[in-house]
Amino acid sequence: MSTPTSPHTLASTPTFLQKLARPADTKLVLLVLDGLGGLPREAGGRTELETARTPNLDRLAAEGQTGLSMPVGAGVTPGSGPGHLALFGYDPAATDIGRGALSALGLGLALGPGDLAARLNFCTLDEHGRVADRRAGRIATSVNRALVERLNGIQVPGMRIEFTTESQHRAVMIVRGPGLDAAVRETDPQATGAPPIDPEPLRPQAARTSEVLRAVLAAARGLLRSQSPANFVLMRGYAGPPQLEGLDDLYGLRPACLATYPMYKGLARAAGMEVVEGLESPDDQTRALADLWADHDFFFVHHKAPDARGEDGDFEGKAAAIEAMDAHVPAIRALAPDVVAATGDHSTPAVLRQHSWHPVPFLLWGAAVLRDGAPAFGERACGAGALGVFPARSIMALMLAHGGRLAKFGA
Protein backbone atom coordinates (compact mmCIF):
# COMPACT_ATOMS: atom_id res chain seq x y z
CA MET A 1 0.00 0.00 0.00
CA SER A 2 1.12 3.57 -0.55
CA THR A 3 1.54 6.02 2.30
CA PRO A 4 0.46 9.67 2.55
CA THR A 5 2.91 12.07 0.97
CA SER A 6 3.33 15.77 1.58
CA PRO A 7 2.75 16.84 -2.07
CA HIS A 8 -0.56 14.94 -2.03
CA THR A 9 -1.57 16.82 1.09
CA LEU A 10 -0.36 20.21 -0.17
CA ALA A 11 -2.46 19.93 -3.31
CA SER A 12 -5.53 19.34 -1.16
CA THR A 13 -5.40 22.48 0.98
CA PRO A 14 -8.48 24.72 0.71
CA THR A 15 -6.47 27.86 -0.16
CA PHE A 16 -4.70 26.06 -3.00
CA LEU A 17 -7.88 24.49 -4.37
CA GLN A 18 -9.78 27.76 -4.08
CA LYS A 19 -7.53 29.27 -6.75
CA LEU A 20 -8.39 26.42 -9.11
CA ALA A 21 -12.11 26.18 -8.39
CA ARG A 22 -14.40 26.77 -11.33
CA PRO A 23 -18.16 26.38 -11.86
CA ALA A 24 -19.62 23.30 -13.48
CA ASP A 25 -23.07 21.84 -13.92
CA THR A 26 -22.30 18.67 -11.97
CA LYS A 27 -23.72 17.00 -8.86
CA LEU A 28 -21.47 15.59 -6.14
CA VAL A 29 -22.59 13.25 -3.33
CA LEU A 30 -20.49 12.54 -0.24
CA LEU A 31 -21.99 9.52 1.53
CA VAL A 32 -20.60 9.13 5.06
CA LEU A 33 -21.24 5.98 7.05
CA ASP A 34 -20.06 7.12 10.46
CA GLY A 35 -17.44 4.85 12.04
CA LEU A 36 -17.39 2.67 8.90
CA GLY A 37 -14.02 0.97 9.35
CA GLY A 38 -13.72 -2.08 11.59
CA LEU A 39 -11.71 -5.13 12.60
CA PRO A 40 -12.32 -8.90 12.54
CA ARG A 41 -13.46 -10.66 15.69
CA GLU A 42 -10.83 -13.34 15.20
CA ALA A 43 -7.55 -13.57 13.30
CA GLY A 44 -8.19 -14.02 9.60
CA GLY A 45 -11.89 -13.22 9.93
CA ARG A 46 -13.98 -10.54 8.29
CA THR A 47 -14.64 -7.00 9.46
CA GLU A 48 -18.15 -5.66 9.98
CA LEU A 49 -18.14 -4.11 6.49
CA GLU A 50 -16.77 -7.27 4.91
CA THR A 51 -19.42 -9.30 6.75
CA ALA A 52 -22.29 -7.03 5.67
CA ARG A 53 -24.15 -7.80 2.46
CA THR A 54 -23.61 -4.63 0.40
CA PRO A 55 -24.34 -5.35 -3.27
CA ASN A 56 -24.91 -1.70 -4.13
CA LEU A 57 -21.75 -0.34 -2.53
CA ASP A 58 -19.86 -3.30 -4.01
CA ARG A 59 -21.11 -2.32 -7.46
CA LEU A 60 -20.01 1.30 -6.96
CA ALA A 61 -16.58 0.04 -5.89
CA ALA A 62 -16.32 -2.28 -8.91
CA GLU A 63 -17.25 0.59 -11.23
CA GLY A 64 -14.99 3.08 -9.48
CA GLN A 65 -11.69 3.57 -7.71
CA THR A 66 -10.89 2.58 -4.15
CA GLY A 67 -8.44 3.11 -1.32
CA LEU A 68 -8.17 3.66 2.43
CA SER A 69 -8.45 7.19 3.77
CA MET A 70 -6.46 8.37 6.79
CA PRO A 71 -8.58 10.92 8.72
CA VAL A 72 -5.74 12.73 10.54
CA GLY A 73 -2.51 10.76 10.39
CA ALA A 74 -0.97 7.37 11.03
CA GLY A 75 -1.72 6.18 14.54
CA VAL A 76 -4.01 9.12 15.38
CA THR A 77 -7.50 8.28 16.62
CA PRO A 78 -9.84 11.08 15.44
CA GLY A 79 -12.99 12.42 16.98
CA SER A 80 -16.00 12.95 14.75
CA GLY A 81 -15.23 16.66 14.34
CA PRO A 82 -11.71 16.28 12.92
CA GLY A 83 -12.81 13.25 10.91
CA HIS A 84 -15.52 15.20 9.11
CA LEU A 85 -13.50 18.37 8.68
CA ALA A 86 -10.92 16.27 6.84
CA LEU A 87 -13.65 14.88 4.57
CA PHE A 88 -14.71 18.45 3.76
CA GLY A 89 -11.12 19.28 2.75
CA TYR A 90 -9.95 21.17 5.83
CA ASP A 91 -6.75 20.41 7.72
CA PRO A 92 -8.15 18.58 10.77
CA ALA A 93 -5.14 19.45 12.94
CA ALA A 94 -5.31 23.17 12.16
CA THR A 95 -9.09 23.61 12.15
CA ASP A 96 -10.28 21.34 14.96
CA ILE A 97 -13.53 22.62 16.45
CA GLY A 98 -14.64 21.63 19.93
CA ARG A 99 -17.55 19.24 19.98
CA GLY A 100 -19.53 21.53 22.25
CA ALA A 101 -19.62 24.25 19.60
CA LEU A 102 -20.59 21.77 16.90
CA SER A 103 -23.44 20.37 18.95
CA ALA A 104 -24.64 23.88 19.80
CA LEU A 105 -24.61 24.92 16.13
CA GLY A 106 -26.36 21.70 15.18
CA LEU A 107 -29.19 22.54 17.58
CA GLY A 108 -29.41 26.06 16.18
CA LEU A 109 -28.27 27.64 19.45
CA ALA A 110 -26.74 31.11 19.46
CA LEU A 111 -23.05 31.04 20.31
CA GLY A 112 -21.53 34.50 20.56
CA PRO A 113 -18.00 35.80 21.06
CA GLY A 114 -16.78 34.92 24.54
CA ASP A 115 -19.35 32.14 25.06
CA LEU A 116 -18.21 28.63 25.88
CA ALA A 117 -20.05 25.47 24.79
CA ALA A 118 -19.44 21.97 26.12
CA ARG A 119 -20.73 18.60 25.02
CA LEU A 120 -22.26 16.60 27.88
CA ASN A 121 -22.77 12.86 28.21
CA PHE A 122 -25.20 11.68 30.83
CA CYS A 123 -23.39 8.78 32.47
CA THR A 124 -23.74 6.19 35.22
CA LEU A 125 -21.46 6.32 38.25
CA ASP A 126 -21.14 3.28 40.51
CA GLU A 127 -21.23 3.41 44.33
CA HIS A 128 -17.51 4.26 44.37
CA GLY A 129 -17.91 7.25 42.06
CA ARG A 130 -16.39 5.49 39.06
CA VAL A 131 -17.86 5.58 35.56
CA ALA A 132 -19.81 2.37 35.00
CA ASP A 133 -21.41 3.46 31.70
CA ARG A 134 -20.23 6.52 29.76
CA ARG A 135 -23.60 6.77 27.99
CA ALA A 136 -26.02 5.76 30.76
CA GLY A 137 -27.41 2.98 28.59
CA ARG A 138 -28.19 5.48 25.79
CA ILE A 139 -31.19 6.80 27.71
CA ALA A 140 -34.27 7.88 25.78
CA THR A 141 -34.29 11.48 24.59
CA SER A 142 -37.45 12.08 26.65
CA VAL A 143 -35.53 11.11 29.81
CA ASN A 144 -32.72 13.42 28.73
CA ARG A 145 -35.15 16.34 28.51
CA ALA A 146 -36.38 15.73 32.07
CA LEU A 147 -32.80 15.66 33.34
CA VAL A 148 -31.90 18.81 31.43
CA GLU A 149 -34.86 20.56 33.06
CA ARG A 150 -33.30 19.75 36.43
CA LEU A 151 -29.88 21.01 35.36
CA ASN A 152 -31.27 24.30 34.11
CA GLY A 153 -31.78 25.24 37.74
CA ILE A 154 -28.00 25.47 38.25
CA GLN A 155 -26.72 28.97 38.92
CA VAL A 156 -23.15 30.25 39.17
CA PRO A 157 -22.58 33.90 40.19
CA GLY A 158 -21.61 36.12 37.27
CA MET A 159 -22.49 33.49 34.65
CA ARG A 160 -25.51 32.45 32.61
CA ILE A 161 -25.68 28.72 32.10
CA GLU A 162 -28.00 26.96 29.67
CA PHE A 163 -28.49 23.23 29.14
CA THR A 164 -30.14 21.80 26.01
CA THR A 165 -30.99 18.23 25.06
CA GLU A 166 -29.21 16.91 22.00
CA SER A 167 -30.21 13.25 21.63
CA GLN A 168 -30.31 10.15 23.83
CA HIS A 169 -27.49 10.59 26.39
CA ARG A 170 -26.08 13.72 24.76
CA ALA A 171 -26.68 17.30 25.84
CA VAL A 172 -25.08 20.70 25.39
CA MET A 173 -24.11 23.29 27.99
CA ILE A 174 -23.44 26.92 27.09
CA VAL A 175 -21.78 29.23 29.59
CA ARG A 176 -22.05 32.95 28.96
CA GLY A 177 -19.99 35.42 30.96
CA PRO A 178 -16.69 37.30 31.11
CA GLY A 179 -13.24 35.75 31.06
CA LEU A 180 -14.09 32.26 29.80
CA ASP A 181 -11.27 30.14 28.37
CA ALA A 182 -11.60 26.71 26.74
CA ALA A 183 -8.21 25.45 27.97
CA VAL A 184 -9.68 23.21 30.67
CA ARG A 185 -9.21 19.47 31.06
CA GLU A 186 -12.15 17.38 29.84
CA THR A 187 -13.85 15.34 32.56
CA ASP A 188 -14.66 12.25 30.46
CA PRO A 189 -12.08 9.53 31.25
CA GLN A 190 -13.00 7.81 27.96
CA ALA A 191 -13.14 4.50 29.84
CA THR A 192 -15.20 2.70 32.44
CA GLY A 193 -13.90 1.85 35.89
CA ALA A 194 -12.28 5.26 36.34
CA PRO A 195 -13.67 8.33 38.11
CA PRO A 196 -14.51 11.50 36.19
CA ILE A 197 -11.49 13.75 35.66
CA ASP A 198 -11.21 17.06 37.47
CA PRO A 199 -11.72 20.06 35.09
CA GLU A 200 -8.40 21.62 35.99
CA PRO A 201 -7.09 24.61 34.02
CA LEU A 202 -4.48 23.89 31.36
CA ARG A 203 -3.19 27.46 31.50
CA PRO A 204 -3.51 30.29 34.03
CA GLN A 205 -6.11 32.17 31.96
CA ALA A 206 -8.53 29.24 32.34
CA ALA A 207 -8.55 29.24 36.16
CA ARG A 208 -11.90 31.08 36.37
CA THR A 209 -13.49 28.73 33.82
CA SER A 210 -12.24 25.75 35.83
CA GLU A 211 -13.92 27.15 38.95
CA VAL A 212 -17.19 27.63 37.06
CA LEU A 213 -17.17 24.08 35.71
CA ARG A 214 -16.37 22.63 39.13
CA ALA A 215 -19.36 24.52 40.57
CA VAL A 216 -21.60 23.20 37.78
CA LEU A 217 -20.45 19.62 38.34
CA ALA A 218 -20.95 19.85 42.09
CA ALA A 219 -24.49 21.10 41.56
CA ALA A 220 -25.17 18.43 38.92
CA ARG A 221 -23.99 15.69 41.27
CA GLY A 222 -26.55 16.78 43.85
CA LEU A 223 -29.37 17.13 41.34
CA LEU A 224 -28.76 13.79 39.61
CA ARG A 225 -27.57 11.59 42.50
CA SER A 226 -30.94 9.91 42.95
CA GLN A 227 -31.51 9.30 39.22
CA SER A 228 -30.97 5.99 37.46
CA PRO A 229 -29.23 5.14 35.22
CA ALA A 230 -28.11 8.70 34.44
CA ASN A 231 -26.77 10.01 37.73
CA PHE A 232 -23.99 12.34 36.54
CA VAL A 233 -22.58 14.15 33.48
CA LEU A 234 -19.23 14.08 31.70
CA MET A 235 -17.93 17.21 29.93
CA ARG A 236 -15.80 17.49 26.82
CA GLY A 237 -15.29 19.50 23.66
CA TYR A 238 -15.13 22.99 25.22
CA ALA A 239 -15.19 25.61 22.48
CA GLY A 240 -16.31 29.04 21.39
CA PRO A 241 -17.87 29.82 17.99
CA PRO A 242 -15.88 28.34 15.06
CA GLN A 243 -14.33 30.44 12.32
CA LEU A 244 -14.20 28.62 8.99
CA GLU A 245 -14.42 29.73 5.38
CA GLY A 246 -17.31 27.72 3.97
CA LEU A 247 -17.39 25.38 1.00
CA ASP A 248 -19.70 27.84 -0.72
CA ASP A 249 -17.08 30.61 -0.60
CA LEU A 250 -14.09 28.35 -1.15
CA TYR A 251 -15.31 26.41 -4.17
CA GLY A 252 -18.49 28.10 -5.34
CA LEU A 253 -20.57 25.10 -4.32
CA ARG A 254 -24.20 25.11 -3.22
CA PRO A 255 -23.79 22.50 -0.50
CA ALA A 256 -26.57 20.80 1.45
CA CYS A 257 -26.45 18.61 4.53
CA LEU A 258 -28.77 15.66 5.12
CA ALA A 259 -28.04 14.43 8.64
CA THR A 260 -30.18 13.33 11.57
CA TYR A 261 -27.85 14.07 14.51
CA PRO A 262 -27.30 17.67 15.66
CA MET A 263 -23.52 17.55 15.85
CA TYR A 264 -23.16 16.73 12.16
CA LYS A 265 -25.54 19.53 11.32
CA GLY A 266 -23.24 21.79 13.34
CA LEU A 267 -20.25 20.65 11.33
CA ALA A 268 -22.15 21.30 8.13
CA ARG A 269 -23.21 24.80 9.24
CA ALA A 270 -19.61 25.62 10.16
CA ALA A 271 -18.61 24.51 6.64
CA GLY A 272 -21.19 26.76 4.96
CA MET A 273 -23.83 24.14 4.12
CA GLU A 274 -27.57 24.52 4.11
CA VAL A 275 -28.91 22.11 6.73
CA VAL A 276 -32.18 20.27 6.22
CA GLU A 277 -34.13 19.97 9.47
CA GLY A 278 -36.64 17.35 10.55
CA LEU A 279 -34.88 14.29 9.15
CA GLU A 280 -35.16 11.24 11.38
CA SER A 281 -34.42 8.22 9.19
CA PRO A 282 -32.60 7.14 6.02
CA ASP A 283 -35.96 7.18 4.24
CA ASP A 284 -36.37 10.84 5.20
CA GLN A 285 -32.87 11.59 3.93
CA THR A 286 -33.46 9.87 0.60
CA ARG A 287 -36.67 11.80 0.02
CA ALA A 288 -35.04 15.08 1.00
CA LEU A 289 -32.12 14.42 -1.34
CA ALA A 290 -34.51 14.15 -4.28
CA ASP A 291 -36.33 17.31 -3.20
CA LEU A 292 -33.08 19.30 -2.96
CA TRP A 293 -31.47 17.92 -6.09
CA ALA A 294 -32.30 20.78 -8.44
CA ASP A 295 -31.17 23.58 -6.12
CA HIS A 296 -27.83 22.24 -4.82
CA ASP A 297 -24.74 20.62 -6.28
CA PHE A 298 -22.91 19.13 -3.27
CA PHE A 299 -24.72 16.78 -0.91
CA PHE A 300 -23.37 15.55 2.43
CA VAL A 301 -25.43 12.51 3.44
CA HIS A 302 -24.61 11.26 6.93
CA HIS A 303 -25.59 7.98 8.63
CA LYS A 304 -24.80 7.58 12.31
CA ALA A 305 -25.90 4.00 13.07
CA PRO A 306 -22.67 2.10 12.18
CA ASP A 307 -20.68 4.20 14.66
CA ALA A 308 -23.27 3.81 17.44
CA ARG A 309 -23.35 0.03 17.03
CA GLY A 310 -19.56 -0.11 16.96
CA GLU A 311 -19.33 1.84 20.21
CA ASP A 312 -21.80 -0.61 21.74
CA GLY A 313 -19.57 -3.53 20.75
CA ASP A 314 -22.37 -4.88 18.58
CA PHE A 315 -20.59 -6.49 15.60
CA GLU A 316 -23.74 -7.90 14.00
CA GLY A 317 -25.65 -4.68 14.64
CA LYS A 318 -22.97 -2.61 12.92
CA ALA A 319 -22.99 -4.96 9.93
CA ALA A 320 -26.80 -4.68 9.79
CA ALA A 321 -26.59 -0.86 9.96
CA ILE A 322 -24.22 -0.85 6.99
CA GLU A 323 -26.60 -3.14 5.08
CA ALA A 324 -29.51 -0.79 5.84
CA MET A 325 -27.60 2.10 4.29
CA ASP A 326 -26.58 0.04 1.29
CA ALA A 327 -30.27 -0.41 0.49
CA HIS A 328 -30.57 3.35 -0.14
CA VAL A 329 -27.73 3.55 -2.66
CA PRO A 330 -29.98 2.78 -5.69
CA ALA A 331 -32.14 5.81 -4.87
CA ILE A 332 -29.01 7.97 -4.91
CA ARG A 333 -27.89 6.52 -8.24
CA ALA A 334 -31.36 7.08 -9.69
CA LEU A 335 -30.79 10.84 -9.38
CA ALA A 336 -27.85 10.52 -11.81
CA PRO A 337 -25.07 12.11 -9.76
CA ASP A 338 -21.83 12.87 -11.55
CA VAL A 339 -19.60 11.89 -8.63
CA VAL A 340 -20.24 9.72 -5.58
CA ALA A 341 -17.75 9.25 -2.75
CA ALA A 342 -18.55 6.77 0.01
CA THR A 343 -16.49 6.40 3.18
CA GLY A 344 -16.50 7.04 6.93
CA ASP A 345 -15.13 9.79 9.13
CA HIS A 346 -13.12 7.25 11.15
CA SER A 347 -13.13 3.59 12.12
CA THR A 348 -15.13 2.28 15.08
CA PRO A 349 -14.33 -1.43 15.43
CA ALA A 350 -16.92 -3.24 17.52
CA VAL A 351 -14.14 -5.29 19.10
CA LEU A 352 -12.65 -2.06 20.49
CA ARG A 353 -16.00 -0.39 21.30
CA GLN A 354 -14.54 3.02 20.40
CA HIS A 355 -13.06 5.12 17.62
CA SER A 356 -9.70 3.89 16.35
CA TRP A 357 -6.71 4.99 14.27
CA HIS A 358 -7.30 2.50 11.45
CA PRO A 359 -7.70 3.89 7.91
CA VAL A 360 -11.20 3.90 6.44
CA PRO A 361 -12.53 2.18 3.28
CA PHE A 362 -13.16 4.67 0.48
CA LEU A 363 -14.67 4.50 -2.99
CA LEU A 364 -14.94 7.12 -5.71
CA TRP A 365 -17.44 6.66 -8.53
CA GLY A 366 -18.00 8.76 -11.64
CA ALA A 367 -17.69 8.86 -15.41
CA ALA A 368 -14.07 10.12 -15.33
CA VAL A 369 -12.91 7.68 -12.66
CA LEU A 370 -10.28 5.14 -13.75
CA ARG A 371 -11.62 1.83 -12.50
CA ASP A 372 -9.33 -0.37 -10.44
CA GLY A 373 -11.60 -3.44 -10.46
CA ALA A 374 -12.17 -3.73 -6.72
CA PRO A 375 -13.97 -7.02 -6.02
CA ALA A 376 -15.99 -5.52 -3.15
CA PHE A 377 -16.27 -2.58 -0.80
CA GLY A 378 -14.29 -3.62 2.26
CA GLU A 379 -11.10 -2.92 4.16
CA ARG A 380 -8.86 -5.41 2.39
CA ALA A 381 -10.36 -4.88 -1.06
CA CYS A 382 -9.99 -1.10 -0.75
CA GLY A 383 -6.48 -1.51 0.65
CA ALA A 384 -5.49 -3.06 -2.67
CA GLY A 385 -7.11 -0.23 -4.65
CA ALA A 386 -5.39 2.33 -6.85
CA LEU A 387 -5.54 5.11 -4.25
CA GLY A 388 -3.72 3.11 -1.57
CA VAL A 389 -3.65 4.80 1.84
CA PHE A 390 -4.14 8.54 1.41
CA PRO A 391 -5.11 11.56 3.56
CA ALA A 392 -8.85 12.05 3.90
CA ARG A 393 -8.51 15.77 3.25
CA SER A 394 -7.73 14.86 -0.40
CA ILE A 395 -11.27 13.54 -0.88
CA MET A 396 -12.68 16.99 -1.58
CA ALA A 397 -10.04 17.57 -4.25
CA LEU A 398 -10.82 14.22 -5.86
CA MET A 399 -14.54 14.95 -5.92
CA LEU A 400 -14.08 18.45 -7.35
CA ALA A 401 -11.66 17.24 -10.02
CA HIS A 402 -13.85 14.36 -11.17
CA GLY A 403 -16.80 16.74 -11.22
CA GLY A 404 -14.96 19.08 -13.60
CA ARG A 405 -14.70 21.79 -10.94
CA LEU A 406 -10.94 22.36 -10.85
CA ALA A 407 -9.01 24.26 -13.54
CA LYS A 408 -5.55 23.25 -14.75
CA PHE A 409 -2.69 24.29 -12.48
CA GLY A 410 0.09 26.23 -14.17
CA ALA A 411 0.87 27.04 -17.77
What does the DSSP assignment read for 121-160? EEEEE-TTS-EEETTTTT--HHHHHHHHHHHTT---TT-E
| CA atoms within a 13 Å half-sphere pointing along the CA-CB vector of 41 | 12
Look at residue 303 in the predicted model and tell me its pLDDT.
97
As to burial, measured by CB atoms within 10 angstroms (0-12 exposed, 13-18 middle, 19+ buried), residue 91 is: middle
Q: Cα 245 from chain centroid?
A: 18
Q: How far apart are alpha carbons 98 and 240 in whole angstroms?
A: 8
Domain boundaries, the chain: 6-97+244-402, 103-239
235-245 tens-digit pLDDT: 999 999 888 89
List the one residue out of 73, 71, 1 whose CA is nearest residue 34.
Answer: 71
* Average pLDDT of the residues in 75-100: 91
Q: What is the mean predicted confidence (pLDDT) over 198-216?
A: 97
Q: Using the predicted structure, report yes or no on whether residue 392 has a pLDDT greater than 90.
A: yes
Q: Stretch 263-282: mean pLDDT, rounded?
A: 92
Provide the pLDDT confidence category of residue 334 given band limits of 50, 70 and 90: very high
Mean pLDDT of 17-27: 95
pLDDT band, residue 411 (cuts 50/70/90): confident
Using DSSP's 3-state secondary structure scheme, residue 272 falls into coil
Looking at every residue in the chain, the average pLDDT score rounds to 94
Alpha-carbon distance 117 to 111, whole Å? 8
- Which pLDDT score, from 0 to 100, does residue 11 have? 56
| Average pLDDT value for residue range 42-51 | 96
What pLDDT sits at residue 8?
47
Q: Where are the beta strands (DSSP E) in 263-409?
A: 274-275, 298-303, 339-343, 360-366, 389-391
pTM over 0.75: yes
170 three-state secondary structure: strand
pLDDT in tens, 96-115: 788 898 889 888 898 889 99
- Residue 116 in this model has a pLDDT that exceeds 70: yes
pLDDT over 50 (residue 286): yes
Mean pLDDT to the nearest integer, 267-294:
94
Contacts for 386 with CB less than 8 Å, ≥ 6 apart = 65, 66, 67, 370, 372
Cβ burial 261-277 (10 Å sphere, 16+ → b, else e):
bbbbbbbbbbbbbebbe
Could you say which architecture CATH assigns to the domain 6-97+244-402?
3-Layer(aba) Sandwich (3.40)
Tens of pLDDT, residues 298-333: 999 999 999 999 999 999 999 999 999 999 999 999
Yes or no: domain 103-239 corresponds to CATH 1.10.3470: no
Three-state DSSP at 28 gives strand
The fraction of the chain above a pLDDT of 70, given in percent, is: 97
Position 151 scores a pLDDT of 97
Summarised one tens digit per residue, pLDDT across range 155-185 is 999 999 999 999 899 999 999 999 999 999 9
Residue 28 has pLDDT above 90, yes or no: yes
**Torsion 50-54-57-59 (CA) sign:** positive
Share of the chain above pLDDT 90, in %: 87
Q: Do the beta carbons of residue 124 and residue 147 sit within 8 Å?
A: no
